Amino acid sequence: MTNNIKSPNFQFLKDFDSTIYKTVLYAEKYCLDDPSTSLIKLRIFGEYFAKLIAARLGVYVEGKSEFLQILKELKYESIIVNFIDSAANIGVNKFKQ
31 located within any domain: yes
27 located within any domain: yes
Contact 13, 20 (CB under 8 A): yes
- The answer to pTM > 0.85 is no
Q: What pLDDT digit, counting tens, does each position of 22-52 carry? A: 999 999 999 999 999 999 999 898 888 888 8
4 located within any domain: no
In the three-class reduction of DSSP (H, G, I as helix; E, B as strand; rest coil), residue 47 is classed as: helix
Contact 83, 59 (CB under 8 A): no
45 located within any domain: yes
Domain count across the chain: 1
2 located within any domain: no
CA–CA distance, 60 with 5 (Å, rounded to integer): 35
84 located within any domain: yes
Q: What pLDDT digit, counting tens, does each position of 48-69 carry? A: 888 888 777 777 666 666 777 7
6 located within any domain: no
* Residue 84 belongs to domain spanning: 11-96
5 located within any domain: no
